[in-house]
Structure 1
Amino acid sequence: MTDARPSSSGLRAVVVLCFGLMLAACNGLGGRSAPPPVVAPPPTTQVQPPPRVDAPAMRDPARFYTPAHMAGERPIRVALLLPFNSPRDNVRTLSNSLYNAAQLALFEFDNRQILLIPKATGGTSGGAQRAAQEALSAGADLILGPLFAEEVVAVAPIAAQHNVPVVAFSSDSAVAGNGVYLLSFPLHEDINRIVEFATLQGIQSFGALYPQGSYGNRAQAEFERAVAARAGRVVAATSYPSSSEGMYEPARRIAASYGDGNFQALFLPEGGAQLKTISPLLPYYDLDPRQVKFLGTGLWDDPSLALEPPLHGAWFPAPPPEGHAQFLTRYKRAYGPATPPRIASLGYDAASLAVALATRDESDRFTAAALTDPDGFAGVDGIFRFMADGRTERGLAVMEVRPGGAVVVDPAPTSFRPQVF
C-alpha cells in the first residue's frame, strides 16, 4: 500500500500504513463489503455549460463542508475531481473505478479524519474549473485529480492561489509543476526503463514504428532521447495512421529497412486493438520476431497480448505485478467480479498517499517538502516519488510476453536509495 518512506518526518505514516497493509493482507476487508460512511456517493449531475470563473473567491472556514456525523471534529478534506458525468461511457466507467479504488483505500486504512469530497468535472476545462472552485470553497486541503491534461491546466491556477496541491492523473508531463504533481504512468519513464534494459542486454541499434498524432510524436522524441543517452542509434523509423488499411505500407517499409540485420530491436509504442492489428503485419513482411526483439510501453500491460504469437518474447515495462494483483482481488471482493480499468489503482494510491500525509502535523501535511520526499512512497503499483517539477519517477519491472502470460525478466526496484555493495 502507499506509505511514506522512512524519513523521520514520515515515521508515523509508515506505522499507520504498515498496519493497514497487514490488516488488508490478513483480513481482506474484515468481512465488510462497503466503504466507510464518511464517503459520499459519486456525483450524478448532468453535463452543463460551466459559469466563467475569472478568479477564485476567498475561502471562508465557517462555510467549509462538514457532515453532521463529523460535527465538532476537524476533518481533513480531500477533493476528488473526476469526469463522473462525461458523455463518454468509458470515461464514466473509469471515473467510477478510480472513485471506488479511493474509497477502498480509505476503508482499509480506516482514517476517519479524512473526508472525501467528489466533484464532477464533465471532462472539460470549464467543468474542472468549476469543480475545483466548489471543492476549494468546501475547504479542500488536497485535490486528487482531475484526469485529463486540459482539466489540470484549468484547475492548477485556482488551487495555487489557495496553496492547495493537486495530485492529478494525467500522464502529460507538460502540465506538471507549480503545485501540480502527476500520479500516473509517464511515457518517458516507460521508455527510459525499456531502453535501459535493452541496452544492458547488448542492443545498440533500434528501429521504431510510431502511431501518427501527438502521442506518437511524444513517443518518438522520448525514444530518440533515451537511445542517444545510452550511445545507441535509431537506424530506421516510420509512422502509421489509425486505419487498419493504412498500416500495411508502413509495416512493409520498416520490415524492408531491417534488411539483413540493420537493427536489433523494434520499438512499438502502441496498445490494444491497434497493436494487435499491426504486430502480425511485421512477420507477414518477413520481419521475424525471433531475430528482432520487439519492445513496448506500459500500454502492453494487457493479459490478452499473451494470445498474440508475434509478440511472444517481446519486452515491455510495467509496475511490479504482485501488488496490482492483490489490489484487484480486494477490489473485486468489495465491488463485484468485474475487472476495473488498469489505471483504477491510481485512485487507490492517491487516497493512500493522502492517508500517509494526513498523519503529519497540520503545518507539514500537504507541503511541497512532504510530497517530494526523496525516499518516495510505496503503492500497489510499486514505488514512486514526485520530483520538484511535479513529474513522477517510478520503479518499474521489465516483463516478457509469453503464451501463458507476461513474466518478470527484470524486477522493479524496491527503493530509490542507491544500492550499497
Structure 2
Amino acid sequence: MGKEEKALEVAKGLLPYKDEHPEDLGRLLLLLGRSSRPRHPLEALSYYYEVYSRGRPTDRRVAREEALALLKGLSPSQWREVMSRWEGTFLSVYAALKIAEAYLGEERYEEAEALLKGVEGRAQEEGFGGFFERLWELLLKPKERELTVGLLLPLSGRLASTGEQVLKGALLAAGVFGDRHPRWRVRFLLRDTGSSPQGAVEGFRSLRGEVQAVLGPLSPGEARAVLQEFREGDPLLLILSPLEEARGMEGVLQLSLPLEQEVEDLFLLARDEGLSRFGLFYPRNPYGRRVVRAFQEETWKWGGELVGYFPYKEREMDFGPSLKEIKEGEVMPDALVVAEGDYTLCLLASQVAYYELEGVKLLALRVLDPLKVLGLCREYLEGAVLSTPFYPESKREEVRDFSERFRRTYGTTPGLFEALGWDGLEVLLEAGGKAEGLESLHLYGVTGLRGYLQGEPVGEPFKLLVSDGRFEELP
C-alpha cells in the first residue's frame, strides 16, 4: 500500500469521530477530498461538498475552489452524473455549463441551448455569470442566430406614450436589460410612425429589404394603411391592433386573440353560472356589430337568449333611457354585457346601481386596464366578470415572471401595451422571423396567447370576478 492510500485509509478511520471534534471536520474532509481526487473524483466531490455545506467559511471557500478545479477535468459522462447526484447545487450548475461548452464545440446547438436555458438564473446566482455569457455568445455566433426586427411604432404625436410602452416590452424581451437570454441575437431598426397612417406606410417602406420581420403598427388606422401597402415578399408583419381585414392574409399575423374566442369564453362562463338571458350594450361601429354577431352565434350554438340590443354612440355618457327600458320591460335579463370596458363599463355600472337593477350581473369584454377600472368604480362592480387581454397581477407563471422582470428593470408595473411588446417579440423569436412553422409553436404569452391555428391566434383570455372589492382570477 502506497503512502497516499495509507493516509486515505487513516483519514477514513477518523470519520466516525468527526462530530466529537467539529473544529477539525473541515481539515479532515479536505484531506479526504485531496486524497481521493486521482482515482475517485466523484467521491472527492462528495467530501468537498460536505465541507462546503458544513465547514467554516475559510474551509468552504477552499472546498469550492478545489471542487471546481476537479470538475473542469472530468469527462462528459461524469459531468452528467454530477448533475444528477448534486441537482440544484453549484456543482450541478457548473457541470451543466461544461456539458454545454462541449456541445457547442461539437456544433450541437439545440442541446447546448436547452442546457443553458435550464441554468440561466442559477448560473448568475452561483457566480458563473461570466462563464454563462461567454457560452451564450458562442451559441449566437453563427450568422443565422441573428434576427433583425423592424419596430414600427408611434414615438411622436398623440400616441407617443403608448408606443414607448410597447418599446419597453420589446426591449425587455430581447434581453437588452437584465439576465434574459433569447434564442436569437436581436438587432432592432426603429421607425417612428408619427402617430399617422402616412408615417406608418413610409416607415414600412423603409424597412423593406432591411429586416426579417416587423412588429407594428399599433393603431387601427396605421395598421390598415400598412396592410394596403403590404405585398408578397415583404417581411413578416405582426400587427398590434386587431383587424378583421387582416385575417387570412399571408405573411401577416395578429397578436390579439380573436373577439369570437373572447366572447365564447365569457358566454360559457355565464352559462355555467346559470345565466341565460342577456342584454347587450355595444357601440355603433364595425366592432360593435362583430360583438353582436359573435353573441348571436353563441346563443344559437349553446342555447340562451339575447333579450335586448342597446347600441350607443361613441363617448356615450347617458345610458338611462336603455336602463329604464330594461327596468320596465317584460323580461329582465340575467346579465348585461358591455362590449368594451374601462370608462364605458364604469358609467354603465354606476347607472345600473342608480336604476336599482338588482340581481342583474355585469359582464365586460376587452377591458384594457382592469386595475384602473377597479380603482374608478369598485363600489359598482361587485359580482361583475371582466374579460381582459392582460392582468399584471395574474397567478400565471409567465405573467409573474414578466411583471417581476419589468418592475426590476423599469420600476413600474407593466400594462397591456408593455405586454404586447413583450409577446410580439416573443412570437417573432420563437418563429425565427418566419411565418412557416407557426402551427407548431407552443407559446406562453403574457397576453394569454398560446399559439396559432391556421394563422389565427389562439389562447386563454383572463377572466376576473370582482369579489369583496377585489379581483379573483377565474380559471
TM superposition score normalised by structure 2: 0.64
State whether residues 181 and 386 of structure 1, in contact with CA within 8 Å, keep that contact through their aligned partners in structure 2: no
1:214 shift after superposition: 3.6
Matched, 1:164 2:235: yes
Q: Is the 8 A contact 2:251 2:435 kept in 1?
A: no
CA distance in 1, matches of 2:268, 2:251: 30
Whether the aligned pair in 1 keeps the contact of 2:184 and 2:429 (CA below 8 Å) is no
Instruction: Name the larger-Rg structure.
Output: 2
Q: Secondary structure at the match of 1:262?
A: coil
Aligned counterparts of 2:174 and 2:256: Cα–Cα separation in 1: 20
Residue equivalent to 2:431: 357
Give distance in 2, aligned partners of 1:224 and 1:152. Answer: 28
Describe how 1:189-204 pairs up with structure 2 within 5 A. 189-204=261-276
Identity across matched positions, percent: 22
Query: Which residue, out of 260, 274, 277, partners 2:347?
Result: 277
| Equivalent position SS for 2:293 | helix
Alignment of structure 1 residues 57-206 onto 2, 5 Å: 73=143, 75-85=146-156, 87-88=157-158, 91-107=159-175, 108-111=180-183, 113-138=185-210, 140-156=211-227, 158-176=229-247, 177-206=249-278
Deviation at 1:149, TM superposition (A): 3.0
User: Match of 1:151, as an amino acid?
Assistant: E
Shift of 1:72: 10
- SS of equivalent to 1:239: strand
- Change over 3 Å in CA distance of 1:254–1:343 after alignment to 2: farther
Paired residues of 2:220 and 2:243 also in contact (CA < 8 A): yes
Q: Aligned pair in 2 of structure 1 residues 112, 397: CA closer, same or farther (>3 Å)?
A: closer
Residues 181-238 of structure 1: per-residue CA shift (max 9 Å, x gap): 1002432222111012112333222111223334333322222222222122101121
The whole-number CA distance in structure 1 between the counterparts of 2:399 and 2:449 is 12
Contact 1:109 1:355 in 2 (8 A): no
How many residues of Structure 1 are paired with residues of Structure 2 in the alignment?
Answer: 344
Aligned to 1:333: 408
Decide whether the 8 Å contact of 1:76 with 1:114 is kept in 2.
yes
Corresponding residue SS for 1:184: coil
Match of 2:447 among 350, 367, 381: 381
CA offsets, 1:216-269, max 9 Å, x none?
A: 333222222222221221011212334565322222223333x5x632221112
- For residues 238 and 25 of structure 1, what CA distance do their matches in structure 2 show? 56
Q: Which has the higher helix share?
A: 2
After superposition, the Cα gap between the structure-2 partners of 1:112 and 1:97, relative to the gap in structure 1 and judged at 3 Å, is same
Give the Cα–Cα distance (whole angstroms) in 1 for the partners of residues 299 and 111 of structure 2: 38
Q: Aligned Cα RMSD in Å?
A: 3.4
Q: Secondary structure at the match of 1:400?
A: strand
What is the CA-CA distance between 1:397 and the residue it aligns to? 3.9
In the alignment, the residues of structure 2 paired with residue 137 and residue 294 of structure 1 have an alpha-carbon distance, to the nearest angstrom, of: 49
- Tell me which residue corresponds to 1:255: 327
Q: Is the 8 A contact 1:382 1:394 kept in 2?
A: yes
Q: Which letter maps to 2:458?
A: E
Q: Measured at CA, do residues 96 and 160 of structure 1 come closer, stay the same or move farther in structure 2, by a change above 3 Å?
A: same
SS at match of 1:379: coil
Q: Structure 1's 341 and 99: CA in aligned 2 closer, same or farther, altered over 3 A?
A: same
Which amino acid in the other structure matches residue 169 of structure 1? L
Cα displacement (A) at 1:132: 1.2
Tell me: CA distance 1:299–1:231, structure 2 relative to 1, closer, same or farther (3 Å).
same
For the 8 Å contact 1:237–1:254, the answer to whether it is kept is: no
CA distance 1:224–1:20, shift in 2 (3 Å): farther
Q: Distance in 2 between matches of 1:396 and 1:141?
A: 29
Q: Please state how far the C-alpha of 1:327 moved relative to its aligned partner.
A: 1.9
What pairs up with 1:167-316 in 2 under 5 angstroms? 167-176=238-247, 177-242=249-314, 246-257=318-329, 259=330, 262-288=332-358, 291-299=359-367, 301-306=369-374, 307-316=377-386
1:317 corresponding residue in structure 2: 387
- Structure 1, unaligned runs of 5 or more: 1-11, 37-69, 359-364, 412-421
Inter-partner Cα distance in structure 2 for 1:372 and 1:129: 29
Q: Judge conservation of contact 2:368–2:416 (CA < 8 Å) in 1.
A: no
Alpha-carbon distance in structure 1 between the residues aligned to 2:323 and 2:218: 33
Residue by residue, what CA displacement relative to the aligned partner does 1:64-103 show, whole Å, maximum 9, x if unpaired? Answer: xxxxxx9995632111111112x21xx2111111111111
For 2:191 and 2:260, how far apart are their aligned partners in 1?
Answer: 30
Whether the aligned pair in 2 keeps the contact of 1:13 and 1:357 (CA below 8 Å) is no
Greater Cα offset, 119-128 or 148-157: 148-157
Match of 1:7 in 2: none
Match of 1:395 in 2: 460
The residue identity in structure 1 corresponding to 2:360 is V
Aligned-residue offset at 1:27: 6.8
Structure 2 letter corresponding to 1:109: H
Alpha-carbon distance between aligned partners in 2 of 1:331 and 1:226, rounded to the nearest angstrom = 38
> Structure 2 matches for 1:22-37, cutoff 5 A?
23=120
Contact 1:101 / 1:348 at 8 angstroms: preserved in 2? yes
CA contact (8 A) 2:257 2:449 kept: no
Give the Å deviation of 1:131: 1.0
Tell me the equivalent position of 1:371.
438
